[in-house]
A and B are shown apart, each in its own frame.
Chain A
Amino acid sequence: MQRELVLALCGPAAVAASAARRRVPRAILVALVALAVFAVVLLVDGKDPLRAYRDTLIYVFGNTYGFSELLVRITPLLMTSIAVALPSRLGLINVGGEGQLYMGAWLATAGALGFPDLPSWLLLPLMTALGFTGGALWALLPGLMRAAKLVNETISTLLLNYIAPLIVSFFIFGPWRSAESASYPQSPAFVDAARLPNLTGTRIHLGLMFGLICLVLYGLALNRTRWGLAMRAIGGNAEASLRLGIPVSSYIVAVMAMAGGIAGIAGMAEVSAIQGRLVAELSPGYGFMGFLVAWLAGGNALGILVMAFLFAVVSSVGDILQITQGVPYAVVNLLMAVVLFIVLGQRGPMRSGR
């Protein structure tokens, strides 16, 4: 009987999911319109948008290296978007992926610098666990404050985003400052055992597997387990779920920590595989992009994969613009915002009346 009631509560979530599935092919159209709008903005600024788009296409799809770089970029996006999608099932808004990524990277670095003598098969799992822990702790805080009804998680995760990079900076300017690079603050290089293995000749690394595994687990957990069912029930109606005996507060705390941990693994993968040391400029906004990816995908696992791909391409546009036409990378946020404005501006079936 309880199960049926829980299922009934999931109604709205199920509607949202089916709407999300319909939106995936439509996304291509939205992307085209957004690219056109963005092109106009670039034209007004005296830049050449068509050249930028052509350069991007040639770079990304013209050779294997460019495409492999796309996969490198998708890797953290997969994890940061799951970090948003998972709490969103409960109706929680985690905008703290960026901070959670930094804290994961930070704690993983502590592992790499603290145990340089461990063999790789021991050190890498340790760093992954530490990365998870770092991110999880950073999300646990907003989770606890939300569960205790003290602070709304949206604003607390946003504020924590600003604190995490400062902690990283504190360490690389202070205790972990590498002696050999006096001018550019960064941690000492990791030992080889602390580096995630790469696919030969590219920068694609084991982190991509982490991301895909997380995505599969996310999809399965949500649709095939009782936890997923309970989560959707809470998202549908928290009050009723509580009365059905679902421990809502515990779910809030656990899910937030889990989400932060996954973003933390993304941070660990970035320092371990890409940077090989802790640096201040760890992420070009992967945490924020993850929010957009998850939102556009409607929390659907397959949708996340598609949207992460799209956003990796979008973010390549930003890189190309910066390299070839001297446009600051941050301008790419404009393109992302236009995409979202168009999606939000459509009167979809999801937003029908009361």
Chain B
Amino acid sequence: MSTPFAAAVLSSSVLSGTSLLYATLGELVGERAGIVNLGLEGIMLIGAAMGFAVTAYAGNPYVGVAAAGFACLAANLIFGFIVIERRANQLAAGLTLMFFGFGASALIGRPFIGTVISGLPRMRVPGLGAFDALVWLAVPTSLLLWWLLFRTRWGLALRAVGEDPAAAFAAGQKPDLLQFQALAVAGLLGGIGGAHLSVGLTQTWDEGMTAGRGFIAIALVIFAKWNPLWAVAGALVFGGAEALQLQLQARGADVSPFLMTMVPYVLTLLVLLFWGWNRRSAAPAALGRNFFGVE
């Protein structure tokens, strides 16, 4: 293995890890407020389709990414209405959101299959490599979220809702409002993650192109112990699995592409198998439960 190969794998893992990181951070904020969103896969798809469509239409990738973020924010608020206002089962509502994303993204992206766009421009920093703005912003975003969650009153209130909404309510917080806010942030980040996939990484739109990244991101939240800083490490490892496979394929390695495509999923399962359950103690205590108010 030559040095260029290692360098290519590394820069490629940073690139493919970025969309995962944004999605993971989004899910993490939602889960800190006590809401599991299994619809992240659908959110990412909407983000990818919307980002691509608007980029192709407006000719500006940043406008595309912003549109993706806000479209997914809106979609997440629909989900929020169902699970917070209507107190539906979060897992079922999340899967419904996934279906919603499958359908909506297919509809949005349909006219743009095969369209060529000029995606996010990559900026070269000597010694580090050439990455687009979203890549450069990924780690600062994690730091910002860590600060918001663990060093601000808002973050404290948000986490309190995730641990025990009744106690947070008794302490004068508004659990519903905080959960909506968390889901708005989650949607924004999930949309940006999806958009980075289509506008930054592949610069194409393909139906179902997220290929399970949303679910991998949900697993990464567990791996990251609901901490934004650990999420960076997790996203890099999984981006690395994908990058290694792409680089091996590009170099014509004699391994079936199908077997290599399995690697991230198998890796996710293995990670959950070895680190999943004993991390549950780190999970927000009221995760996945509905708060019915104090009647």
- Interface on A for B, CB 8 Å cutoff? 41, 45, 93, 95, 145, 149-152, 154-156, 158-163, 166-167, 169-170, 173-174, 288, 291-292, 295, 327-338, 340-341, 344-347, 351, 353-354
Contact = CB atoms under 8 A, between A and B. Distances in A.
11 contacts: A151-B276, A152-B276, A169-B258, A170-B256, A173-B258, A292-B99, A327-B110, A331-B103, A344-B96, A345-B88, A351-B87
Interface string B254-295: 001011011001101100110011000000000000101101
Given A162-B265, A353-B295, A328 B96 contact: no
A154 B97 CA distance: 15
B273 A336 contact: no
Contact of A333 (B81, B106, B292): B106
Contacts of B110: 327-328, 331
B282 to A, nearest CB: 15
Interface string B156-185: 000000000000000000000000000000
B100 A170 contact: no
A333 B102 contact: yes
B262 A340 contact: no
A333 B100 CA distance: 6
A295 B103 contact: no
Nearest to A149: B277
Given A162-B265, A295-B92, A341-B78, A173 B106 contact: no
B122 interface: no
Nearest to B256: A170
Contact of A331 (B38, B107, B268, B277): B107
B104 interface: yes
Nearest to B215: A158
Residue of A159, A327, A328 with highest tally of chain B CB at under 10 A = A159
A332 B103 contact: yes
Contacts of A149: 277
Contacts of A93: 91
Contact of A166 (B88, B262, B268): B262
B256 A341 contact: no
B96 A341 contact: yes
Interface stretch (B134-142, B194-202, B204-212, B236-244): B204-212
Contact of B86 (A167, A173, A344): A344
B87 A347 contact: yes
Interface residues of B, number: 48
A58 B61 CA distance: 44
Residue of A149, A154, A169, A344 with highest tally of chain B CB at under 10 A = A344
A353 B87 CA distance: 9
Contacts of B115: none
Interface string B120-164: 000000000000000000000000000000000000000000000
A330 B208 contact: yes
Residue of A333, A334, A346 with highest tally of chain B CB at under 10 A = A333
Contacts of B229: none
A166 B258 contact: yes
Contacts of A95: 95
Interface string B7-22: 0000000000000000
A45 B290 CA distance: 36
B82 interface: yes
SS class, residues of chain B in contact with chain A: helix
Contacts of A327: 107, 110
A336 B266 CA distance: 30
Contact of B215 (A45, A159, A291, A338): A159
Interface in B57-98: 78, 81-82, 86-89, 91-93, 95-97
B224 interface: no
B86 A346 contact: yes
A150 B258 contact: no
B224 to A, nearest CB: 14
A339 to B, nearest CB: 9
A80 to B, nearest CB: 14
Contacts of A174: 256
B85 to A, nearest CB: 8
B103 A337 contact: yes
Nearest to A151: B272
Please name the 8 residue pairs, one residue from A and one from B, whose CB atoms are nearest each other, closest first: A334-B103, A333-B103, A337-B100, A330-B106, A344-B88, A170-B258, A333-B102, A340-B96
B44 interface: no
Contacts of A333: 99-100, 102-103, 106
Contacts of A345: 81-82, 86, 88
A175 to B, nearest CB: 10
Contacts of A163: 262, 265-266
B248 interface: no
Contacts of A292: 96, 99
B287 to A, nearest CB: 11
A351 B110 CA distance: 38
Contacts of A347: 86-87
Nearest to B81: A345
Nearest to A285: B102
Given A45-B107, A333-B100, A155 B272 contact: yes
A341 B82 contact: yes
Given A149-B277, A163-B265, A354-B292, A334 B81 contact: no
Contact of A344 (B93, B106, B295): B93
A312 B144 CA distance: 47
Given A93-B91, A336-B99, A167 B258 contact: yes
